[in-house]
Amino acid sequence: MSAGKTELEAEIAAIKLSLTGLGRIHPGSLSAQKRTRGGEYRQLSYSYLGKGHTRYVRPEEVPALDPRA
């Protein structure tokens, strides 16, 4: 095996190990919703096991979910 391939495989293994530390993650989206009486709130929508889920997100939790916020 070449040295470059061995280094690449070691890097891949390190990345996989760091990803396992993240816990459960699901692809989804964070959107701003308007209330009927004014104001805004954030909503997280994602799929898990083939089913759609929606969760309310508290304002203090938004920065952890959206790095742009």
C-alpha–C-alpha distance, residues 55 and 59, integer Å:
13
Has residue 7 got a pLDDT over 70?
yes
pLDDT-above-70 percentage for the chain: 94
Provide the residue range defining the domain that includes 7: 3-65
Question: pLDDT value at position 13?
Answer: 92
For β-strands 40-48 and 51-57, DSSP reports them as: antiparallel
Q: Does position 63 have pLDDT exceeding 80, yes or no?
A: yes
Count of domains forming the chain: 1
- 28 in Cβ contact with 46 (< 8 Å): yes
**Average pLDDT value for residue range 22-49:** 86
